[in-house]
Structure 1
């Protein structure tokens, strides 16, 4: 602060004069030099900063997420809000220890403990977000990788990955040699892999089947060995199908993953085409036979009219003309029933029309030798 005051000046000859002079007024302000108070001030400032960042994330970032209109981003902000708040708060508490002039060894331990707690906060946040991400990906349309039965598997894999990364960082924080532990874990994993190679083969085949989705629960499939039925369960170790005889067949995934599978429910719909063959004698009217067989397909209730039944003369056999009647059914499980009804009706209609159904004949000639 500047003040003006009048000063008396005396010259060498004894004359006196007055002059105004500007002077500065100094204020003696006491300076607080208490370590405890300084530490509390740093801690309080850190707490205020943490709440300020939390308020900014709650207000600003949520508005941005609402504009994007993606629920995944909202949950991401909700998950990272807690570890960010904890990171700022814990580091502030660590910085508040410096004014207290703590020795280096205890301060180092405090730093490692705080770093470990921060890593734990982020690990739990990563696990929570990984679980939500799998649920979000499962609900997306068009994806076939994540199914209802594979959700726990993907969640478990993500949690294991996050936990392993967090544990590795925690070991580095405490100055431990993580390489030796990873080597030991690799050896143990190798031993367990050889001991359970069949189970692991089924496990990986099950994951591959679920990811590739060659069939799904409810599909009607035919195995390479000839068994056919609908899929009742796709597990991590085996696949189960139920035959028309109500017999459940359990096939290890490592076996079913390496053989040919016919999915009769595949394609744009579950409709299945059935081909029934019959033979008529040579000399029969081919157009008359075609009309009789086509009438059989059109009159059958189980056969669909769209697509319509069709009749084809497929070959000239050894004993007669070979015709195929092709009809469609709603589901492959109706195959045997429709074949039985078509064969029965074809036999009756051909007999009524006077069309001969040939059968193999052999002429035996006996020669008398002298």
Structure 2
């Protein structure tokens, strides 16, 4: 027969006290918070050390970037799960529990939405570099994927946030469809701009930093391509915001398009009948070659075009590097031609 000593009684009491203490909702809630924090820290450490080391062994950098982006949402997801369980264990009033759980879910959804969008854009940028212009994902189409990604990811995020607050999304979607039709009719210009923005980004008649001219007279560098509008910066450092629907219905001259950005200028010159045409040709060639603003290759050329009513019509053709410098260079060349022709006694 086994006989327990009375000395063991206090230990039994302490154990019973400890068990009863653990059963307290507040203590359990605190333990869950501590446990979730420990698990979150452990998961974060594993991702940032173990997985990062494995990613560093690959030749690609995209996996490194995605790991850097996703480790934080995973950390907060584990932490919010522990906080949610803790709130339920405290047996607070239903409305308070509902609000806290809804807040935790909403914050987690927003964190994941931002992280997924960042990961998506990093992947798109990486893929555009890998494809080397052989797919639709290219440098000039990145704004399109940027805008489409934002719309899709944050619409899905909004859907799940509504669900987390117990909102009947089906009924809302039906109502939203009707409202969207009314809004589309009332804001047809805005809708037209949005569709035009998608087509501009897909068709890419221009890209960022291109120098464009519109038939309305606007011209400048493209600084932003959005869903609703495009912004260009003029030579006077004035930013012009143009609705995409206006641009879509305009003739666009992209002076930065083509294999090179260089632009050829043509300057007509009329000299009096009886002038030495060889001397005129030589002077025009010399003037254009002496200018630092004129490209050496292709070389400047002079053409005798026609016999005018009051003079012989020549044309000086040369290339410049930047289309936006056209006005300044034409002024420079014309001024030099006028001075040299006076010095050489050639009547204009």
TM range, smaller chain: 0.5 to 0.7
Query: Considering only aligned residues, what root-mean-square deviation do their CA atoms show, in Å?
Result: 5.2
Counterpart-to-counterpart distance in 2, 1:184 and 1:107: 32
Residues 1:268 and 1:137: Cα distance change in structure 2 (over 3 Å): farther
Counterpart-to-counterpart distance in 2, 1:335 and 1:38: 82
Q: Using the TM superposition, give the Cα deviation of residue 331 of structure 1 relative to its aligned residue in structure 2, in angstroms.
A: 2.7
Match of 1:308 in 2: 299
Residues 1:324 and 2:319 aligned together: no
Q: Using the TM superposition, give the Cα deviation of residue 282 of structure 1 relative to its aligned residue in structure 2, in angstroms.
A: 9.6
Match of 2:206 in 1: 214
| Residue number among 44, 56, 59 corresponding to 2:45 in the alignment | 59
Residues 1:164 and 2:150 aligned together: no
Counterpart-to-counterpart distance in 1, 2:325 and 2:37: 67
Residues 1:248 and 1:156: Cα distance change in structure 2 (over 3 Å): closer
Q: Aligned to 1:308, what secondary structure does the other structure show?
A: coil
Residues 1:159 and 1:331: Cα distance change in structure 2 (over 3 Å): same
Counterpart-to-counterpart distance in 2, 1:180 and 1:145: 36
| Residue number among 191, 205, 230 corresponding to 2:220 in the alignment | 230
CA contact (8 A) 2:32 2:82 kept: yes
Q: Aligned to 1:72, what secondary structure does the other structure show?
A: helix
Describe how 1:86-101 pairs up with structure 2 within 5 A: 86-88=80-82, 90-91=84-85
Structure 1, 326-335 or 134-143: larger mean CA deviation: 134-143
Q: Using the TM superposition, give the Cα deviation of residue 337 of structure 1 relative to its aligned residue in structure 2, in angstroms.
A: 3.8
Q: Aligned to 2:295, what secondary structure does the other structure show?
A: coil
Match of 2:266 in 1: 275
CA contact (8 A) 1:229 1:242 kept: yes
Residues 1:354 and 1:253: Cα distance change in structure 2 (over 3 Å): same
TM-score for the superposition, normalised by structure 1: 0.60
Residues 1:81 and 2:75 aligned together: yes
Counterpart-to-counterpart distance in 2, 1:289 and 1:65: 74
Q: Aligned to 2:42, what secondary structure does the other structure show?
A: helix
Q: Using the TM superposition, give the Cα deviation of residue 239 of structure 1 relative to its aligned residue in structure 2, in angstroms.
A: 3.9
Choose between structure 1 and 2: higher strand proportion. Answer: 1
Counterpart-to-counterpart distance in 2, 1:90 and 1:166: 16
Residues 1:281 and 1:309: Cα distance change in structure 2 (over 3 Å): same
Residues 1:348 and 1:220: Cα distance change in structure 2 (over 3 Å): same
Counterpart-to-counterpart distance in 2, 1:306 and 1:66: 51
Describe how 1:86-125 pairs up with structure 2 within 5 A: 86-88=80-82, 90-91=84-85, 116=102, 119-125=105-111
Counterpart-to-counterpart distance in 2, 1:239 and 1:110: 47
Q: Deviations over 1:228-264 (max 9, x none)?
A: 53247646446455477x9986643211122221122
TM-score for the superposition, normalised by structure 2: 0.63
Q: Which ranges of structure 2 fall in alignment gaps of 5 or more residues? A: 2-11, 57-63, 130-138
CA contact (8 A) 2:212 2:221 kept: yes
Q: Using the TM superposition, give the Cα deviation of residue 76 of structure 1 relative to its aligned residue in structure 2, in angstroms.
A: 0.9
Q: Which ranges of structure 1 fall in alignment gaps of 5 or more residues? A: 2-28, 358-370
Match of 1:365 in 2: none
Q: Aligned to 1:214, what secondary structure does the other structure show?
A: coil
CA contact (8 A) 1:215 1:263 kept: no
Choose between structure 1 and 2: higher helix proportion. Answer: 2
Counterpart-to-counterpart distance in 2, 1:355 and 1:54: 86
Larger Cα-atom Rg:
1
Instruction: State how many pairs are aligned.
Output: 312
